[in-house]
Amino acid sequence: MSAFNEVKVFVRIRPTAQFAHELIEYSPDEQTVNVRLSKKSKTAVLNNQMSSWCFRLSGVLHNLSQEEFYQQVAHSVVLGALEGYNGTVMCFGQTGAGKTFTMTGASESYKQRGIIPRAIQDVFHEIDTRVDYSFSVHLSFLEIYNETLVDLLASVKGGQTKHCGTLSVVEEPEGAVSVKGLSLHPVHSEEEALNLLFEGEMNKIIGAHALNKNSSRSHCIFTIHIESRSHARSNAAYVTSKLNLVDLAGSERLSKTGSEGQVQRETLYINRSLSFLEQAILALADRRREHVPFRQSKLTHALKDSLGGNCNTVLVANIFGEAAQIEETLSTLRFAARMKCVRTEPAVNKHIDPALQVQRLQKEIQILKQELFLHNTLADRAGVMYEDLSEAQVALIKSEVQRYLAGTLDELRIESVQQIQAVFAEFKKAFQEQEQRLKEQTSQKRVVVEHTPSTSDAKKPVKEVVGLPASSHQQSVTLGRGKGKKVKESSRKNGHGSTGPGKHLTMTQSETEIVLPPSVDESKESANDEVKMSDIPPSKMEAFEVYKSEGGSELNRILKKNKSVLKERLTQVNNLTGNINSIKWDIDHMKTELQLYKEQRQGKSTSAVGEPVLDAAEVNLLMKLREAKDQYRQHYTELLSTKAEVQYCRHLVDQCRMRLFTDFESWYNESFVLPDEVLSIFKDGGPIRPGLVPLDNDLALRAPHGPASRRNSMGSDTNKPKPLATVTPIRR
């Protein structure tokens, strides 16, 4: 079935010997009905221009047996219901046109049985063939009489109903509707279901009528509720559906039927509810309409999900074929044509059984745990636990986190997700406690006095004082632009008591005065400081220059010194390399010359013991060669040692630079970025302690000798050195 379906609309013409062929014509394709009203027609109330209508429908069914009619109209809807699609088959039309005959059939003949008994038979027949599924079927039978909901099976035992009292239509999630209080009767066979149908039929309200001696005076909705589950073991999903078989009360004209009293009252109700049904259909057919007035009557409300929901809907328009009824026939066909424009969106009603789903998931967890155990065993982590942590384990994690935050524990051992969660929970708790403490401290310490400046005060600078005695405000504070981010004490700015970069910044007015009672420490620290304020923090470049000349001057001096030592050592390396290469060249040259001497001497002068006799020039050359080799070794050793020094110097320069940057960042954040509340946490002490770190004199390159031992004391060198000049090794 497609995503969107048009409602299928069939016309059924009640057989008659006086069929008005001159007025009603249906085409051979059996999908079109033409209605003509001639001027001569007694009942014609329409003008000449509007005397002919053509209605295109899903089928015009005339002289069809009940079986043929069922197969064409209802069989596919019944099959859909067994698949999980809701279905509705509804008969509409004039009193006596054959709605009940179509829906229930003639009681005197089995062959003449209508859609409901055939649908029941179809359902149970299909259930028998679908052996892979288990089905449960329930029935309900609702009557709407004079806008009152009546349970036609209320008197039957064994029904299930969740609510007692008056029946009411209730809306369920996703646009479905149900009738609260309506009894649902489980049925296991066609016979059981038919018995309930007959029982309900007996309770229907029927009255004698001019056009029908057994006229239905109410709307009746017979519903087959189907639930099916696959026999596949682990399948927690199941589908449900409702098959609504609706026999509407007949539309009629009071004037025509001459009804009086009770029947007249019923007729008024019937006509009113059918008129609301038409309005709902009109709204549904017009796709631009957002609101559909379903709640105007019990009938439209009860049929809400059948008309505009996820349902396969079929309308049977029952008409007379006689000339006398042509106006009602026209009106029924108009309704049918509108209904054909309504679209529904059939969808299978899938559900998940929570109990089965839990069982399935538990089994899955079990398997996953086994797999995890196997994996951990193979990865040598067999001891890792995945169960909930015990109180003792939680307490241990808590103490470890506290030690970690206090800095007495370097690492937290994490082996499972449970642990991670517990650790994070502890972190969160610690953070919240700290925050709470902070709030309490702030509320105790801070007294904010809002001050609205008088006209005369408006142009004067207004003061903001942080932690200073009231008497010292005026001398100690100059104000920023008002919306300024921070006001910092200069002692914090430079970290070593000197004036920070605040002095470079613009000072203007603020509009509030905040007076704080001083703490002892704060008053001590700030009493002599001139506080300068700015609304925008200085650029980092600018601030860095200031920092290097003030708070970070000592570190900067050491860095510069280290750099110059490094430069000196690099020059030495380059000089030594040059020397070594030139000695090597000399050595090679001398070796070539000696080789020549050796060749010239070949077979000539030898001593008494057979050794070659060297001349003075050759001896001289040999001595020079030895000297050059000694020199080479000496320079080479020196080069190695200088290179080691270069490495070490480079390491220290990098460390100095890092330290300068880190300290600058802390100083910058404390001076311009971090809120006072955070800074006060640091002041009060605690595990977190960013900020200025005392200078470490070990970073100074006082005596760059013995590089190996110093390098060890500084830890491993992770920075890559620049390549130095290379030397050519000599063969010894």
Ligand X SMILES: Nc1ncnc2c1ncn2[C@@H]1O[C@H](COP(=O)(O)OP(=O)(O)OP(=O)(O)O)[C@@H](O)[C@H]1O
Chain residues binding ligand X by CB under 6 A are: 14-15, 93, 95-101, 106, 209, 212, 214-216, 249-250, 318
CB 505 within 8 A of CB 532: yes
Q: Which is nearer to ligand X, 216 or 241 (CB)?
A: 216
Cβ at position 51, least distance to ligand X in Å? 27
CB of 101 to ligand X, least distance (A): 3
The helix or strand, by DSSP H or E, that contains position 52, with its residue range, turns out to be: strand 52-56
- Strand pairing category for 533-534 and 206-207: unpaired
Altogether, the residues listed in the chain come to a count of 732
Q: Quick one: 104 or 562, whose CB is closer to ligand X?
A: 104
Strand extents, DSSP E, 152-262: 168-171, 177-180, 185-187, 206-207, 215-216, 219-230, 237-247
Shortest reach from residue 238's CB to ligand X, in Å: 36
Task: CB nearer to ligand X: give 86 or 212.
Answer: 212
Burial of residue 716 (CB within 10 Å: 0-12, 13-18, 19+) is exposed
Closer residue to ligand X in complex, CB, 97/646? 97
Q: What residues are designated binding site for ATP?
A: 93-100
CB of 103 to ligand X, least distance (A): 8
Residue 15 or 158 having the CB closest to ligand X: 15
Instruction: Please count the other Cβ atoms lying within 10 Å of the Cβ belonging to residue 621.
Output: 16
| Beta carbon nearer to ligand X, 170 or 254 | 254
Which CB atom, from 215 or from 647, has the smaller least distance to ligand X?
A: 215
Judged by CB, which is closer to ligand X: 13, or 543? 13
SS3 letters across 436-497: HHHHHHHHHHCCCCCCCCCCCCCCCCCCECCCCCHHHHHHHECCCCCCCCEECCHHHHHCCC
Residue with tokens 């070539």, as numbered in its chain? 592
- State the minimum distance, in angstroms, from the CB of residue 61 to ligand X: 9
Q: How far is the CB of 204 from ligand X (least distance, A)?
A: 10
CB of 214 to ligand X, least distance (A): 6
Q: Terminus-to-terminus CA distance in the chain, angstroms? A: 94
Of the pair 250, 537, the CB lying nearest ligand X is at 250
β-bridge partners, 481: none
CB of 68 to ligand X, least distance (A): 11
Count of H helices and E strands in the chain? Answer: 21, 21
Other residues' Cβ atoms within 10 Å of the Cβ of residue 717: 15
CA gap 543, 591 in Å, rounded? 63
Q: How far is the CB of 16 from ligand X (least distance, A)?
A: 9
Annotated binding site: 93-100
What is the nearest approach in angstroms of ligand X to the Cβ of residue 359? 50
Bridge partners (DSSP) of residue 59 are 10
Residue 654: CB partners within 8 Å, gap ≥ 6?
Answer: 719
Residue 323 near residue 18 (C-beta atoms within 8 A): yes
Please, which residue, 108 or 411, has the CB nearer to ligand X?
Answer: 108
Q: What is the C-alpha separation between 323 and 310, in angstroms, rounded?
A: 38
* Alpha carbons 360 and 354: distance in angstroms, whole number: 10
| CA–CA separation, 377 and 380 (whole Å) | 5
Rounded CA separation 222/417 (Å): 56
Strand partners, 185: 139
Question: Measured from the CB of residue 309, what is the shortest distance to ligand X in angstroms?
Answer: 26
> Which strands, in side-by-side order, build the sheet including 52-56?
24-26, 32-36, 52-56
Measured from the CB atom, is 212 or 228 closer to ligand X?
A: 212
The beta strands (E) that lie in 113-218 are given as 133-145, 148-151, 168-171, 177-180, 185-187, 206-207, 215-216
